[in-house]
Amino acid sequence: MVDTFLKETETKMEKAVESTKDKFASIRAGRANVSMLDGITVDAYGAPSPLSQIGTLSAPEARLLTIDPWDKSLIPAIEKAIQQANLGLNPSNDGRIIRLSVPELTEERRKEYVKMVRKEAEEGKVAIRNIRKDVNNKLRKSEKDSEITEDDLKSGEDSVQKLTDKFTKLVDEALDKKEKELTTV
């Protein structure tokens, strides 16, 4: 039973780390990257649709993103969604393709991004600690209900703490990597 809890815990913690890394990817570090557009939804055909599902996204140059919508009539809706996303990007189009010029990052903007990344990292670590708390509560309940022994409880809690330390360290490593990416010009 303890092994089941531990496998479940490891899976949940891996997801928490991946989620944090995905959030890091959407914070740009100078180069144009299509992941910057993740999370943008366009009102297409009366329903919100992810930008990636209504056109081809690409980064043909270091400072340029392009969006080639499959339905050209959606260009105004796509431009509106990009402006509302508050990414600091101004869309321009030629009737077929939307171009987004990615400006050089200022020092002030870099510092803002570092703060955002640190906040996301802390949220990731809080998620990991919440997973630890939940599984420890399950372990204690199982011991109270005589489903596991006191020794199983102790070793289970120790294993959960080791997993927590391991995944918290992974978030810290991802944070360090992203901070370096943001602060090096």
**8 Å CB contact between 88 and 103:** yes
Please list, residue by residue across 4-39, b when 16 or more beta carbons sit within 10 angstroms of its beta carbon and e when fewer do.
ebbeebbebbeebbeebbebbbbbbbbebbbebbee
Structural domains in the chain, CATH included, are 1-28+106-183 (1.10.132.20), 34-101 (3.30.1360.40)
Per-residue model confidence as pLDDT tens digits over 69-121? 999 999 999 999 888 887 778 899 998 999 998 877 788 888 888 898 999 99
pLDDT the model gives residue 30: 66
The span from the CA of 128 to the CA of 172, in Å, is 12
**8 Å CB contact between 139 and 149:** no
If you average pLDDT over every residue of the chain, what do you get? 89
| pLDDT band with cut points at 50, 70 and 90 for residue 184 | confident
The span from the CA of 170 to the CA of 173, in Å, is 5
Helix (H/G/I), strand (E/B), else coil: 88: coil
Would the pLDDT of 148 be above 80? Answer: yes
pLDDT the model gives residue 22: 85
pLDDT the model gives residue 128: 96
Average pLDDT in the 151-161 region?
Answer: 93
| 169 CB burial (10 A radius; 0-12, 13-18, 19+) | exposed
The span from the CA of 167 to the CA of 129, in Å, is 10
**The pTM of the whole model exceeds 0.75:** no
pLDDT the model gives residue 118: 94
pLDDT the model gives residue 38: 81
